Amino acid sequence: MRLALLVSALFAGACCSSLPKLAEKRVPFPSRAASNADVRVTRESWHDAKRDRDVPVTIYAPAAAHAKLPVVVFSHGIGEDRDSYAYLGRALAQHGYLAVHVTHAGTDRAVLERGYRFLYRAVKEKINWINRPLDVSFALDQLASRDDADLARVAIAGHSAGAFTAFALAGIRFADGGVLRDPRVKVAVAMSMPRMDGVVAPDGYDSIAIPLLNLTGTCDTSLIYRTFPKHRRIPFESTHATRQYLVTLAHVTHNTFSNATDERHDEIVAITLAFLDAYLRNDAAARAWFDEPGRGALTGTSLSVERK
């Protein structure tokens, strides 16, 4: 595994793409006050009797919440778990969201710790991909009993395989005709959607009827899975659905999203929060920024925004 990561690091720079050639954006990025609010972190494990499957979660909540909060369920990438992407969970909670990070047994860190060959085999098992969106739907069932969870305002977000989870819950149609849409999910954020050759129907992305943000980087490459920046664009380029967005960050790699610490996390957090605010909190300024295509900058780094 370490050798594979080293090889990926060595060749990532050679696999970078360029930002799309777009006009400069005129609409400013929506301002948001910085927050150092206290966050309450709890860890629970829920059992789905129907599937005889445990679903561990880490929940990030504002320590001083006194009302129902919009919910964001986060789905991790291959080899990660509920404690990954903590930077995003904490930031969401600091800005008034209830963030629920799920562990998907079968493609999580526990499998990786047995060895990369076990994880690679797990990725090839269809049931592990089906269980991912089912884990999220089950988690939403459990959240219904919480006083601080507003299930009328639910988002799904995820990275890599977690981006697939987000697309599945948003309603993509698979090549076999199957759909795993959960109508409680009103917004989706998909970071680094993996290459899904033969899995999604040719027009499978057209069935999405909710706002969805694709988030990627110009160096978003996974050599192990033969996935390059052009493949991350496939869902956006393939769909005719409306309210579909693609934000590309210059020089961001696949691992930028999942690294425990990274200088680009502030940008990922800011864009994710802005999109959630736009569609879960009806923030007009945030929506206007996403609705204007073009090139811009955030904390001095170039990015592009495309929409349908």
- Mean pLDDT split into 10-residue runs, the chain, 308 residues: 45 77 97 91 98 98 92 98 98 98 97 92 95 98 97 98 98 97 98 96 97 98 90 97 98 96 96 98 98 95 97
Pick the closest to residue 205 from 183, 222, 188, 220 (CA basis): 188
**CA 87 to CA 100: how far, in whole Å?**
13
Give every strand in the sheet of 294-298, ordered side by side.
Answer: 39-48, 53-62, 98-102, 69-75, 149-159, 187-191, 212-219, 244-253, 301-307, 294-298
pLDDT attached to residue 65? 80
pLDDT attached to residue 5? 47
> CB 105: neighbour CB atoms within 10 A?
17
Domain edges within the chain: 2-307
Reported as half-sphere exposure (CB side, CA atoms, 13 A), residue 15 has a value of: 23
Torsion over CA: 289, 294, 297, 303 (sign): positive
**CA 87 to CA 258: how far, in whole Å?**
9
- Contacts of range 259-267, beta carbons closer than 8 Å, 24 or more positions apart: 260/84, 260/86, 260/87, 261/87, 264/301, 265/87, 265/88, 266/299, 267/298, 267/299, 267/301, 267/303
Decide the pairing of beta strands 301-307 and 294-298: antiparallel
**CA 57 to CA 149: how far, in whole Å?**
15
What is the chain's Cα-based Rg?
A: 18
Assess contact for 100 and 73: CB atoms under 8 A: yes
Pick the closest to residue 98 from 132, 134, 142, 129 (CA basis): 142
Pick the closest to residue 88 from 278, 212, 258 (CA basis): 258
pLDDT attached to residue 13? 52
> CB 137: neighbour CB atoms within 10 A?
18
Pick the closest to residue 1 from 78, 85, 106 (CA basis): 78
Helix (H, G, I), strand (E, B) or coil at 296: strand
Assess contact for 269 and 87: CB atoms under 8 A: yes
pLDDT attached to residue 33? 87
197: tokens are 């050759």
**Which of 3.40.190.10, 3.40.50.1820, 1.50.10.20, 3.40.630.40 is the CATH number of 2-307?**
3.40.50.1820
